[in-house]
Amino acid sequence: MAPGPDPYAAMTAFNRFGLGAKPGDLALAASDPRGFLLEELRAPNAGSIPSDGLQTTPQALQMFFAEQQQLRIARETAAAIAAPLAMASANASPTDAKLTDTKPADAKPAEAKLKPQEPPAEQKLFRAQAMARFNAQLKAGSGLVERLVAFWSNHFAVSVAKGQALRATAGAFEREAIRPHVLGKFADLLIAVESHPAMIFYLDNQRSIGPGSNAGRFDGKGLNENLAREILELHTLGVDGGYAQSDVTTLARIITGWSIAEAGSETGEPGAFLFKANWHEPGVHNLLGKNYPQTGRQQGEAALRDLARHPATARHIATKLARHFVADAPPQDLVDALAKAFRDSDGDLAVVSAALVAHDRAWSAPPTKIRDPNEFVIAAMRATGFQTNDPGQIWGVMNSLGMPLWQPAGPNGYADTTAVWASPEQMKLRLDVSWQMAQRARDVGPPLGVLDTVCGLAASRETRDALSHAESRPQALALLFMSPEFQRR
């Protein structure tokens, strides 16, 4: 197809679409960069990762529940012993091991006293899941599928800052709800996400009670529209997608009862999704002009399936994908092509992703975007073969650069624009980070060899000169990490 190997196209395959080249990678893509990426999209089980040693969400939450229970007993025992000395404690703790909003910091003093060495359960779970994600990113071929995983994980953002239960399950959420569907149907992805305990907890749906349901009439609690609003605004139609406040409230009613089985639950597996029928707002609900007569959980699924195939959703997703991969203000014809692929395939994300890779605009647009902190640190590790069994080394860098893992500031996820990730403070920090990483890199050979690994013949003369004139090997490597070829994509 192409007249001859194009060094820029091979670099684009790894930088714009992937996570940077490892030694020898550029040659694999050189003859047919698009075909190389399309091949990866067709690989069986693309996106999934081995579950060795990783806990499922119910397992993770059960470990967390059990530890909370132990801590409660230990606290009560300690209080009973101390009771004769001090009068009744005014600030007694909640007595049930259930999902609370307590942040890890609030619980630390008690844990520190009771268990001086062992990290809390949610921290161990977070650690294992973080390492699994980083390993997948480090080992991936081009990294395109992992970029898609990160994209969808950010589109359906949850944050561990919400509480210990989220810290315990954020990684499992990505593995269970996102990964199996990144090249599947958008509707399946949507339903998997909105019915996952991590998302339900993050956006408070386990507390939302239908006012006309048995539970609502009994104790007068009510709706919480948080999840419903973000489904419409962020996950599907987009804020300009043509819905009203009344649709938010209606969708909130439709998904009342989408909840989580708590510790000791007799109706469901503790820590798993549970539809609580007696919390569900009964009746036919009209969302965006359509009646949903189903009862129970199916009502919510039917509404989500319709939202998934709404044209506004296609446009919203197409715009975000093009913005992420190509440009802050993406070319309109590319957005249109992606939206059409989405509509024509009924939201088949393998088709949409292939349409992105196949589109000329996605290759011809200049590299005006900048790698986000996750992409940056992973690309540096891939280029230099830096190994670690300590995920903290990687998330430490991400923290420094303002992108703590699975912890965006809000449900709209991390920013996806150049202005945010190429700010003065950010570039200063990237310089410091580059220096740290360059000093830690061992046995990487001549820095110009690393430059060949990541850019090949596409490296600029200026960058090549800057590396050759550097006063030390770490300095040359740090300059490589800071070079426009490495930062931009």
The least distance separating other proteins from the CB of residue 220, rounded to whole angstroms, comes to 8
Q: Which is nearer to other proteins, 37 or 479 (CB)?
A: 479
Whole-Å CA distances, 288 to 118, 204, 291, 443, 446: 51, 23, 9, 60, 61
Q: What is the dihedral of CA 275, 276, 282, 283, to 10 degrees?
A: 10
State in angstroms the smallest separation of the CB of 139 from other proteins. 27
What does the block give as tokens for 43? 């690989």
Of the pair 340, 488, the CB lying nearest other proteins is at 488
Distance CA 156, CA 414 (A): 11
Q: Which is nearer to other proteins, 51 or 460 (CB)?
A: 460
Q: What is the DSSP string of 1-66?
A: --SS--HHHHHHHHHTSSS-PPTTHHHHHHS-HHHHHHHHHHSTTTT----TTPPPHHHHHHHHHH
Q: Which H or E element spans position 260? A: strand 258-260
- In angstroms, what is the minimal distance from the CB of 159 to other proteins? 11
To other proteins, the closest distance from the beta carbon of 409 in angstroms equals: 6
What's the full length of the chain, in residues? 489
8 A C-beta contact, residue 440 and residue 483: no
In the complex with other proteins, the residue whose CB is nearer, 2 or 239, is: 239
Of residues 51 and 423, the one with the C-beta less far from other proteins: 423
Is the distance from CB of 313 to CB of 305 less than 8 angstroms?
no
Angle between helices 311-325 and 144-155 (to 10 degrees): 130
The first and second tokens of residue 205, run together, are 């749906």
Instruction: For the CB of residue 276, give the shortest distance to other proteins in the complex, in Å.
Output: 14
Of the pair 298, 460, the CB lying nearest other proteins is at 460
**Quick one: 52 or 471, whose CB is closer to other proteins?**
471
Closest separation between CB of residue 63 and other proteins, Å? 25
Q: How far is the CB of 466 from other proteins (least distance, A)?
A: 5
Contact set with other proteins (CB under 8 A): 101, 161, 204, 207-209, 211, 216, 221-226, 229, 233-234, 239-240, 245, 248, 400-402, 409-410, 412, 415, 417, 419-429, 431-436, 460, 462-463, 466, 470-471, 475, 478-479, 482-484, 487-488
